[in-house]
Structure 1
Amino acid sequence: MLEFFSANILSVVLVFGTVVIIHELGHFFVAKLLKIRVEAFAVGFGPRLFGFRKAETDYRVCAIPLGGYVKMTGENPSEGLTGGVEEFLSRPKWQRFLVAVMGPVMNVLLAIILLTAIFYHKFETPAWLSEPVVVGIIESNSPAEKAGIQAGDRIVAIGNQRNLTWEEFSLEVATSANRPLELEISRKDQIIRKTVIPESQGKHHGGYLGVFPYSPSLSVVKNIVGGKPAAEAGMRPGDKIIKVGDVDLERAGKDLADVLNLYKDETVPIVVWRNGQQLELKVKPYLDKASKRRMIGIERDQTQKMIVRNLTVKEAFQESVKQNIKFTGLIFDILQKLFKHEVSIRMMSGPIGIAQQSGIAARSGFTDLVFLMAAISLNLGIMNLLPIPVLDGGIIAIIVVETLIRRDLSLRLRERITQVGFVVLILLAVIITYNDIIKVLPASLEKYFP
């Protein structure tokens, strides 16, 4: 909770406020263009805090900052419609469709524009994401180790998905917690097939397999903490750790922190490469109380090999469209798995989760904040297209049904559908907010909540 409340409030307002206003402007501009009477343009819900009136429209900011709305005359069946041309439900279906769909469309366009700007400014991505899935590190007692996966194995397929990159593989594992995955592995000119079940891990209950690409920089010492075992043993910045005890880290596919935790001896021999020669240092790890892991007091080099390209505006736009299509596919994949109960609803985030991520992104840098805004905008656009009454997708679904049956639904039926949709939306909001609260609780309290 403290992390949430200490987050950068301005970043929350910027991210959430921008995507909501852009969404509502889509509805607003089309309604005005079609001369449908707009009674209110609101940011937030609940009591009006402040605003101004211009012509027929009240522009207002409301007390509950969880969204926004455009109130059009005659959009609610219970209002008592007169059939006037200024009423939303009195308009032809194609006009109502345009008003409903333009909110999500504006969110998608915003996501494309933001990513285009980011990629034009600087296109940079970790190289390992686009590389083949060659196992470099296997964590001890992980599902991968228990399944017999080894360092150097190349995972060439999951089910019917072949020639995966690390990015595609990681996403598939993350959305497959507690579900068996059929892996096809290439090992020394042999094809091996294994079934492995990723464990549910973390506050989001994502899938965990315990395999990672090898990064040489992770074995390089960046800084030494004074007074800690590494400093006392004579370790220096720039040393490359190649062995811990009798374990060759690269050959065994093990991470330094993992091996240190497995060794129970008071003194551990660590072999480092320094100035063209190997040196053996005697190090006495200490138990860190917070993580409950053995440590030696070093900061490792986290530098990653990056792919950096200078893109033209056209190339940046094309890359943005490509990434947004990929993200859209991922959203639908997660939604499909949610409905099938194949992933945890903890993977979804609401306003509290968005606020927390906004604060983290703001501290990381403006580019990360803009990237987060693009992702949230795309999510908002896609989620609003779901056929749930009250949402834009529900309005569109009703229009499609009326078109197919070649008559309008009765006002009484529309009113009942709206009431059901409102209840569903409230229940979803309660569930997602509950999940958000659970995810920001300390681990000591989280265990008391299902």
Structure 2
Amino acid sequence: MATALVAIIVFGILVLIHELGHFTVAKLVGIKVHEFAIGMGPKLIQVKKGETSYSIRALPLGGYVRMEGEDEKSDDLRSFNNKSVLARISVIFAGPFMNFVLAIALFSIIFYSIGAPTTRIQEVMDQSPAQTAGIQSGDIIYSINGEKMDTWQNIIDTIGKSQDNSIHITIVRNGDKIEKTVKPTRDIETNRATIGIKTTIEKSIGASIRNGFVAIKAITTGILGFLKGLITRESNAAAEIMGPVGIINLVGQVARTGWIDVVNLTAVLSVNLGLMNLLPIPALDGSRILFLLVEMLRGKPVDPEKEGMIHLIGFGLLITLMLFVTYQDILKLFS
């Protein structure tokens, strides 16, 4: 029961923020919004304020913002299809964009709570390449090979890519910049190039936000790599794709380990939701944006009925895929 409750809260937050993006920008550009719904299926609660109905529906998966003239022809001056292409793209893009904003906020909260690694060195290992080069605790790594280092992750990645070649490090010590040349060694456990330093952990809002962006970049790169692997058949879709049942099970597992892990999972799912919605798949936001870009290039819109049919077919395929993935998730639970 607790797992289901946490899962509903997580899904609810993700959908609420996504749909709130569509809703807010639609209102800002003057589009008439008939309904703002969280969930799908039968209505549980509905409140009408002005021209818009706000509802919570029985199935806590998905949601929608129903706008005048979005999927049908309308002569209303405030309809979706009577707004400029840029205005409509802004409305569609706002949903995925808000998922990325949510992820940044959640990651920033996590990094601030546990402390964010900084570019200041806390400890230099004995007999390490850094100690041999004269680097000291308290030094700040300013740049490596001329590239400015903003986060600890940048430092790790840059040193890791050095392939054991000597690197030129600019450090800041007592306000002065000092140049050092260091030859990394390879860590036996991780098989990564290292120079033998540890970072300082600080509770900094700025560092937490920067690390939030770094985390999103890493997750996005991983997702795109996985999708590329699906095309080249290097990724195992059956083992790695997870549907609602699998996510609920995962939420239940992380809920037992503490709130930070739940927040972290929510942030990861938010990045996934935002990025997947931007893909040019029929029925998703990315496809709608693609049709609007085509309209911008052609100077006239694609036939709404044809576009609607494409989205309908895409929606059907997505539902079929979700049912298949859910079936696989259930098999995994009992295997």
Q: Which residue of the other structure, out of 57, 64, 67, is the alignment partner of 2:62?
A: 67
1:389 touches 1:422 (CA, 8 Å); kept in 2? Answer: yes
Q: Give 1:48 deviation, angstroms.
A: 0.9
Deviation of the 1:163 alpha carbon: 5.4
**Unaligned 5+ residue runs, structure 1?**
1-5, 126-160, 165-185, 188-210, 215-305, 443-450
| Root mean square deviation, CA, Å | 2.5
Q: Which AA in structure 1 matches 2:273?
A: L
Deviation of residue 75 (structure 1)?
0.8
Distance 2:319 2:189 in 1: 40
TM alignment of 1:182-261, pairs within 5 A: none
Gaps of 5+ in 2: 118-159, 164-184, 192-197
Q: Indicate the percent of aligned positions where both proteins have the same amino acid.
A: 38
Q: Partner of 1:378 in structure 2?
A: 271
Supply the distance in 2 between the matched residues of 1:430 and 1:8 (Cα, whole angstroms). 21
In structure 2, how many angstroms separate the alpha carbons of the residues matched to 1:421 and 1:212? 46
Tell me the equivalent position of 1:121.
113
The Cα of 1:394 is off from its aligned counterpart by 1.1
Q: Paired residue for 1:396? A: 289
Aligned-pair distance for 1:29? 0.5
CA 1:322–1:375: 2 relative to 1, 3 Å: same
Report the counterpart of residue 331 of structure 1 in structure 2.
Answer: 223
CA distance in 1, matches of 2:63, 2:83: 23
Q: How far apart are the structure 1 equivalents of 2:74 and 2:267?
A: 41
* Pairs aligned (count): 265
Q: Return the index of the structure with the highest Cα Rg.
A: 1
* Structure 1 residue identity aligned to 2:224: F
Query: Is residue 222 of structure 2 the alignment partner of residue 359 of structure 1?
Result: no
Query: Is the 1:7–1:356 Cα contact (8 Å) retained in structure 2?
Result: no
Match of 1:235 in 2: none
Matched, 1:107 2:99: yes
Contact kept in structure 1, 2:116 and 2:204, CA below 8 Å: no
TM-score under structure 1 length normalisation: 0.55
Instruction: Indicate the SS of the match to 2:256.
Output: helix
Question: For 2:219 and 2:162, how far apart are their aligned partners in 1?
Answer: 19
Q: Which has the higher helix share?
A: 2
CA contact (8 A) 1:73 1:86 kept: yes
- Conserved 8 A contact 1:122-1:308: no
Tell me: CA distance 1:407–1:117, structure 2 relative to 1, closer, same or farther (3 Å). Answer: same
Give 1:41's match in structure 2, choosing from 36, 40, 46. 36
- Alpha-carbon separation, structure 1, partners of 2:162 and 2:219: 19
Which residue does 2:203 correspond to in 1?
311
Residues of 2 paired with 1:435 and 1:405: CA distance?
43
Q: Distance in 2 between matches of 1:355 and 1:388?
A: 25
After TM superposition, give the deviation of residue 433 of structure 1 in Å: 1.4
Cα deviations by residue, 1:162-189 (Å, 9 ceiling, x for unpaired):
558xxxxxxxxxxxxxxxxxxxxx99xx
Runs of 4+ aligned residues of structure 1 deviating over 3 Å after TM superposition are 161-164, 211-214
With normalisation by structure 2, the TM-score equals 0.73
Query: Could you tell me how far apart the structure 2 residues matched to 1:335 and 1:163 are?
Result: 28
Alignment of 1:84 with 2:76, yes or no, is: yes
Show CA shifts across 1:181-226 (max 9, x none): xxxxx99xxxxxxxxxxxxxxxxxxxxxxx9659xxxxxxxxxxxx
The structural deviation recorded for 1:118 is: 0.9
CA distance in 2, matches of 1:35, 1:386: 27
The alpha carbon displacement at 1:43 in A equals 0.9
Which of 429, 441, 444 matches 2:322? 429
